[in-house]
Structure 1
Amino acid sequence: MSGKLYGVGLGPGDPSLMTLRAVEVIAEAQVIACHSARHGRSIARSIAAKHLRADHIEEALVYPVTTETTDHPGGYKGAMEDFYTEAAARLATHLEAGRTVAVLAEGDPFFYGSYMHMHKRLADRFDTEVIPGVTSVSAASARLGTPLVEGEEVLTILPGTLPEEELTARLAATDTAVIMKLGRTFPKVRAALDSSGKLGRTRYVERATMSGERLAELADVDPQTVPYFSVAVLPSQVDAPTPERERGEVLVVGTGPAGPLWLTPQTRGALADADDLVGYTTYLDRVPVRPGQQRHGSDNRVEAERAEFALQLAQRGRQVAVVSGGDPGVFAMATAVLEAAAEKEYADVAVRVLPGVTAANAAAALAGAPLGHDYATLSLSDRLKPWEVIAERLRAAAAADLVLALYNPGSRSRTWQVGKARELLLEYRAPDTPVVIARDVGGPDERVRIVRLAELDPDVVDMRTILLVGSSQTQTVRRADGEEIVWTPRRYPEA
C-alpha cells in the first residue's frame, strides 16, 4: 500500500505560528523533505526543528541554482525542471514503499511555494493532503498593525520579478497590494511604486515574525540592505488621512464608453486616489463609491461651471478627478477644463488629461474594423456650431472618401440631422455603403447593426448612438455563423 504525501505549511517563520495540524502531520510522518539553496540551510527545517525526531528520514531537496547562472543546456528553467523531476522521483520512492512523506514549506504550500512542484508531479499518483499555513502577507500586515484590506477594497499580490511597467500598471489599478520576492528586484519595485503614485503610502517588512525582523517606510529603505525574504505592503486606505498639499491637481479622466471593464489601469488608479470626483451624474455612477471620497454630480449642460469648480477644489489642495465618458479629449470634458485652466486665476493649477477608449473605437471593434484606414470624426450636434459648418465638413470628408465616425447624431430635440446627413452623403457614396449603428456600447442595452446608407433610418438613432459610415473601399462579409462583419482595407487599389 502506498504512503501518503503531505504539503505542510509552516507559517511565516515564528514556530509558534505553526498550526496544530502541521505539528500533527510532522509527528505522523516517516519522511521529512525540505528545500534549500546549495548552502544547505533550510528555513523550513529551522521553523519545524523542535518537532523533528532522530528517527525521521530526512530528504534534503537542494536547488541546483538560485540567483546565479548555470551551464545547463536548458538554462535556468531547464535546470529547475530537471531538479523538480528528480526530487519528485526521490519522494515517489518513499511513497511507493508505503512511507508517509511531509514536504515542509514556509508560509502556505500553495502560495509561491516550492511544494507545489512536487504536488503537480505526485498528487495524481498518491493520496495527498495540503496543510495551509499563515502567509507572509498576513504576517506582514499583522506586524505593521495596519489593516490590509477593508470593505470593497481590492488586494493585489504581485511578484517583484514582474517587469517594471507591468508592476506600475497593476499598482496604479489596485487599492491595496503586497509585493513579494524583493531582494534584487527592490530598485525596480520602488520605481514602480513611485511611478504609480503609491510610494509614499507603502511600508516595508523584512523577515516578519522571524529573528532580524525590520519594519520601515519603504521610501527610506537602502536597496543594498534588502533580502529576498521581505515584502512591500500598500495597506488599506479606508481611514487614511487626506494628504496635506499646498496645491492639488486636476485629472481629466476618460472612463471609456461604459463601465469598469473599459477603464485603463491608469484611469482606474486616478479615480481611486482622488479626493473629489466631479462630473456628469451618469458618468459618476460608473465609478465605485469609496469611503472619504467626495462626489460632485451635475447636469450634462454645465461643462464650464464643472471645470471651474474642479480647478477651485484643486486650489484648496484637493486631488480632483473630472470624470468624462469615452476619451475626455473627444467631444468631452478635457477642452472645458483646459479652457478654464488657461485663465490667469488658474494658471498655477496642475492639469493632466488621462485618455480613455473612445465610443468610435469601441463601436468599430464590435463591428469588425471599419476604421482600418483613414477616417474623420464629426459631431452632428448643431448646439455649438451651425449646421452649415457641419454640412460643409461632411461634404469635404465624403469627397475625400474618408470613413466617418458621427457623434451626437440625434436626440429628442434634434431629429432631422441624421436624415440631412444621409442625403448629403448619398451625393458621394453608393447606396449600399455599409453603416454601423452602435447603441449603448458596453452597456446593458448594447446593440450593433450594419445597414446600408440608403436604408439608414433616423428614427433608430439617439444620443446613445454612434454611426460609422464606410468609404468606397469598406467591405462586409457574412461569416459562417451568420454574423456580418465590416472592415476597411488598409491598401487603396491604386497603391
Structure 2
Amino acid sequence: MAGTLYGVGLGPGDPELVTVKAVRLIAAADVVAYHSARHGRSVARLIAEPYLRGDQIEEQLVYPVTTESIDHPGGYEGAIEEFYEQAAARLMAHLEAGRDVVLLAEGDPLFYSSYMHMHKRIDGRYATQIVPGVTSVSAACAALGMPLTEGNDVLTVLPGTMAQAQLTERLMTTDAAAIMKISRSYAGVQQALKEAGRLEQAYYVERASGDKQVTRPAGAVDPSGVPYMSIVIVPGRAAAQGRPTAPGATTDGVIGVGRVDVVGLGPAGRDWLTPQAMAVLSAADDIVGYAPYVERVPVNPRQQRHASDNRVEAERAEFALDLARRGRRVAVVSSGDPGVFAMATAVLEAAADNERFAHVPVAVVPGLTAAQAVASQSGAPLGHDYVVLSLSDRLKPWDVIARRLEAAASGDFAIAIYNPASNTRRQQLVDARELLLKYHDAATPVVIGRAVGTDDQRVTVTTLGELDTNQVDMRCLLIVGSSQSRIVNAGSDQARVITPRRYPTE
C-alpha cells in the first residue's frame, strides 16, 4: 500500500504556533522532507525540530540556485524545473515503498510556499493531505497589534517583485495590503508605497513571531538590510482609523541528471559534517565508498549503498562514474577531506582517462581534515607553515617517503603525518622517528590524535624523544612540531601544543 504525502504548514516561525494536527503528523511520519538553500539551513526544519522523533528518514531538498547566476542550459527556470522533478521523484520513491511523507512548509503550504510545486507533481498519483498553517500575514498583524481589515475593507496580497508601476497601481486601488517577497525589492516597494500615498500607513515586520522579531514604520527601514523573512502590512482604511530551477532519463524513467559528488565526511560524526555535505548525501541515489565510511552515512531506504575494500580505489571510482553515466546521482564518500589522501583524485583521474565518462559531472565537496581535527583538540600545533605527509608505502616507495620527510624536517616545518602505522606496517614509524631526530631536538612536541571526534578519542601530547611507536595505529594521526613549537597549559588542564605564527629572524 502506497504512503501518503502530507503538506504540513508550520506557521510563521514560533514552534508554539504549529497546530496540534501538524505536531501529530510530524511525530508519526516515516519521512520528513524540507527545502533549503545551498547553505543547508532550513527554517522549516528548525521550527519542526521539537516534534521530530530523531529516528526518522530526512529528505533535504536543496535548491540548486536562489538568486545567483547559473550555468544551466535552461537558465534559472530550467534549473528550478529540473530540481522540482528530481525532488518529487525522491518523495515518490518513499510513497511507492509505503512510507508516509511529511513535507514541511513555513506558514501555509499553499500560500507562496514551495510545497505547491511538489503537490502539483504528486497529487493524483499518490494520496495527499494539506494541513493549513498560520500565515506570516496573520503573524505580522499580531506583532503589530492592529487589525488588517475591518468592515468592508478589501485585502490584496501582493508580491514585492512586481514591476513598481504595477505595484503602485494595486496599492492605490485596494483598502488593505500585505506585501510579500520584499527582501531584494524593498527600495522599489518603498517607492511604490510613497507614490500610492500609503507609506505613512505602512508597517514593516521582520521575522514575525520569532525571538528576533522587528517591527517599525515601513519608511524607516534601510532597503539594504531587509532579510527574506519580512513583510509589509498596510492596514485597511477602516481598520486604520483612529491610529495616528539538460535533464535526461534515469534507469527507472524518472527525469534527472547523473553526476558524481566526492564528499568529505570529516573525521567523525554529524557535528563534524558540513551542511553542504549533508545536503549532497541526502540528495544522492547511491552511496559509494570504503565500508567503514559508508556505515557513517545514515541509512535511507531510498538509496543504494555500495561498500567495498579500501584497496580498490580505481575500481570504486569507475563504478561510481558508470552509475552516474546511467543517470544516477552518486555520492562517493571519504573520511576527512576527499582531496587529502582520499577519493577525489581517483574519481577525477578515472573521469579524465576514460571517454565513457567525459560528460559525467564530477564535483568535490570538502570536509574537515584529520589534521585540522587533531590540531583543534591539541591547541594550535599547525599555527605556522606545515607539511602533510603519509607514511603508507602502499602507493609510493619508502625511499620517496624518507626523502620527503627529510626535506620537511630540514626545512623546519611542523609535520602532519597520516597513516603512521598499521598491523603490518610498524617499522616505518620507527625509521621516521630516527630520521626526524637527526634534525630536531628530542624535546620537540609530538601530538598523537587517535579516533578524534568519536567516543574513543584519545589525544596524547609527548615529545619526539619519548614517542612510543607502539601506541600508534591506523586510527592515529601524528603532528610533529617545528623548532619553534612548544607545550603550554594555557586555559586548560590538558597540555597543549602551539607553533607561533612569528618565526625568529637572524
Give the 3 Å change call, closer, same or farther, for CA 350–402 of structure 1 in structure 2.
same
Give the 3 Å change call, closer, same or farther, for CA 212–467 of structure 1 in structure 2.
closer
| Aligned partner (choices 261, 271, 286) of residue 271 of structure 2 | 261
Q: How does 1:192-341 map to 2 (within 5 A)?
A: 201=87, 208=108, 216-217=116-117, 223-224=161-162, 227-228=179-180, 244-245=254-255, 247-341=257-351
Secondary structure of 2:376's counterpart equals: helix
Residue-by-residue CA offset, 1:77-135 (whole Å, 9 max, x unaligned): xxxxxxxxxxxxxxxxxxxxxxxxxxxxx997xx646xx9xxxxxxxxxxxxx9x6638
Contact 2:264–2:333 (CA<8 Å) still a contact in 1? Answer: yes
| Aligned partner (choices 459, 483, 486) of residue 448 of structure 1 | 459
How far apart, in 1, do the equivalents of 2:104 and 2:452 lie? 43
Contact 1:260–1:287 (CA<8 Å) still a contact in 2? Answer: no
Partner of residue 59, structure 2: 175
1:134 aligns with 2:19: yes
Cα deviation for residue 247 of structure 1 reads 4.7
Residue-by-residue CA offset, 1:442-463 (whole Å, 9 max, x unaligned): 1221100110101111111111
Q: 1:348 is matched by which residue type in structure 2? A: H
Partner of residue 390, structure 1: 401
Contact 1:276–1:321 (CA<8 Å) still a contact in 2? Answer: yes
Q: 1:425 is matched by which residue type in structure 2? A: L
Residue-by-residue CA offset, 1:442-494 (whole Å, 9 max, x unaligned): 12211001101011111111111110000001121124653111111111111
Give the 3 Å change call, closer, same or farther, for CA 242–271 of structure 1 in structure 2.
farther
Cα deviation for residue 176 of structure 1 reads 4.9
| Aligned partner (choices 479, 482, 494) of residue 471 of structure 1 | 482
Cα deviation for residue 152 of structure 1 reads 5.7
Q: How does 1:21-32 map to 2 (within 5 A)?
A: none
Unaligned runs of 5+ in 2: 1-8, 47-57, 71-75, 89-102, 121-157, 168-177, 183-206, 208-227, 229-250
Q: 2:303 is matched by which residue type in structure 1? A: Q
1:354 aligns with 2:365: yes
| Aligned partner (choices 30, 52, 56) of residue 151 of structure 1 | 30
* TM-score normalised by L of structure 2: 0.58
1:345 aligns with 2:356: yes
Aligned pairs, how many? 342
Q: 1:465 is matched by which residue type in structure 2? A: C
How far apart, in 2, do the equivalents of 1:212 and 1:415 lie? 63
Q: 1:338 is matched by which residue type in structure 2? A: L
**Structure with bigger gyration radius:** 1
How far apart, in 2, do the equivalents of 1:322 and 1:414 lie? 27
Residue-by-residue CA offset, 1:336-390 (whole Å, 9 max, x unaligned): 1111111222111111111101100000000011001000011001111111111
Give the 3 Å change call, closer, same or farther, for CA 215–456 of structure 1 in structure 2.
closer
Cα deviation for residue 198 of structure 1 reads 5.8
Residue-by-residue CA offset, 1:395-452 (whole Å, 9 max, x unaligned): 1111110000000011010011111001000010010000000011112211001101
How far apart, in 1, do the equivalents of 2:350 and 2:255 lie? 22
Q: 1:151 is matched by which residue type in structure 2? A: D
Secondary structure of 1:175's counterpart equals: strand
Unaligned runs of 5+ in 1: 1-105, 117-129, 159-163, 180-185, 233-240
How far apart, in 2, do the equivalents of 1:251 and 1:324 lie? 11
The root-mean-square deviation of aligned C-alpha atoms, in Å, is 4.5
How far apart, in 1, do the equivalents of 2:394 and 2:113 lie? 65
Residue-by-residue CA offset, 1:313-349 (whole Å, 9 max, x unaligned): 0011000000111101100111111111112221111
Partner of residue 41, structure 1: none
How far apart, in 2, do the equivalents of 1:256 and 1:214 lie? 31
* TM-score normalised by L of structure 1: 0.59
